[in-house]
Amino acid sequence: MTLETVSTSKAHGGTLGVYKHESTSTGTGMTFSVFLPPQAVEGAKLPVLIYLSGLTCTHANVTDKGEYRRACAEHGIVFVAPDTSPRGEGVPDDADGAYDFGLGAGFYVNATQEPFAEQYRMWDYIADELPALLGANFPVDLDRMGITGHSMGGHGALTLGLTYPERFKSLSAFAPIVAPGQVPWGHKALGGYLGDDRGAWRKHDAVALIEDGKRPAGAVLVDQGDADGFLAEQLRPELLDAACNAAGVDLTLRLQPGYDHSYNFISTFMEDHIRWHAERL
């Protein structure tokens, strides 16, 4: 798998790079960023943390605003930020150009409905293709891989972490969509990508996965701002809390006073999450 280097620059003693490649999962070009901390010397294999972004985002949002580099340099963590959907000429989008479906809103599923089924395969991309690409091109130890994300990306992190605990050894999320089968964003996305069979939705719903017996590799950390405008209708962390309590899953859910849904919130608690993953990886 050939990588094209878009840019590199030094940060906190390490290297931040942006890369492009042709994806076998989506059949399109894909772009992602990688921060290599200063511990990435010849012969070293470092733990890696994949960050999944939310609706409307690309790799660039957290890369530019996430304030993760200092903590990753301190703890020796490779930080990877992929895109949120396939992109390019001919890639289908929402018919009305809405922000919460189509381009920038892949929801980390393998679509089964036309015209999305051929290219909207972000589940395969994150679960399989991206880790293989990282292992072949960067000094990462795939046996020490964690996953986190924000909003739609928090949904993706939780569902992938619950489904593949043997791959993702640590798990956290910022303001995740915890039960897409019970909220409007999820109804639109899962219905549009997976069809009307709600049984198929359960594989992409963290609360449903826990109810159906899936468990993470270890404890889970979730931060949520209590001034988040999406809290009551779309995010509903109380549903995750209840499911984890019923199943005996070790969840640390922190409701942060006064914080909203923005990168001001994410960047404030990013170092806590990097430390959380470092302790487990």
CATH code for position 194 = 3.40.50.1820
- In this structure, the strands spanning 46-52 and 140-149 are parallel
Tell me what pLDDT residue 42 has: 85
The pair of three-digit structure tokens given for residue 84, joined into one six-digit string: 């949120």
The pair of three-digit structure tokens given for residue 60, joined into one six-digit string: 């660039």
The pair of three-digit structure tokens given for residue 133, joined into one six-digit string: 């690409």
Residues with Cβ < 8 Å from 88, sequence gap 6 or more? Answer: 28, 29
Question: Which residues are known catalytic residues?
Answer: 151, 228, 261
What does the pLDDT profile of the chain (281 residues) look like in tens digits? 689 999 999 999 999 999 999 999 999 999 999 999 999 998 899 999 999 999 999 999 999 999 999 999 999 999 999 999 999 999 999 999 999 999 999 999 999 999 999 999 999 999 999 999 999 999 999 999 999 999 999 999 999 999 999 999 999 999 999 999 999 999 999 999 999 999 999 999 999 999 999 999 999 999 999 999 999 999 999 999 999 999 999 999 999 999 999 999 999 999 999 999 999 99
Which residue type occupies 148? T
Q: Does an H or E element contain 187, and which?
A: helix 184-194
234 and 184 in contact (C-beta within 8 Å)? yes
Q: What number of other Cβ atoms are within 10 A of residue 67's Cβ?
A: 16
Distance CA 193, CA 6 (A): 31
The pair of three-digit structure tokens given for residue 42, joined into one six-digit string: 């010849």
Alpha-carbon separation of residue 223 from 220, 252, 277 (angstroms): 10, 8, 14
Distance CA 34, CA 143 (A): 18
Cis preceding linkage at 115, omega within 30: yes
Number of domains in the chain: 1
Distance CA 262, CA 81 (A): 17
List the alpha helices (DSSP H) in 44-177.
60-65, 69-75, 122-124, 130-137, 152-163
Distance CA 191, CA 226 (A): 28
List the alpha helices (DSSP H) in the chain.
60-65, 69-75, 122-124, 130-137, 152-163, 184-194, 198-201, 206-211, 237-247, 263-280
Tell me what pLDDT residue 169 has: 98
Domain boundaries, position 57:
4-280
What is the value of pTM for the model shown? 0.97
Radius of gyration of the chain measured on its C-alpha atoms: 17
Tell me what pLDDT residue 44 has: 92
Tell me what pLDDT residue 161 has: 98
Q: Which residues pair with 196 in a beta bridge?
A: none
Q: Which residues pair with 225 in a beta bridge?
A: 256
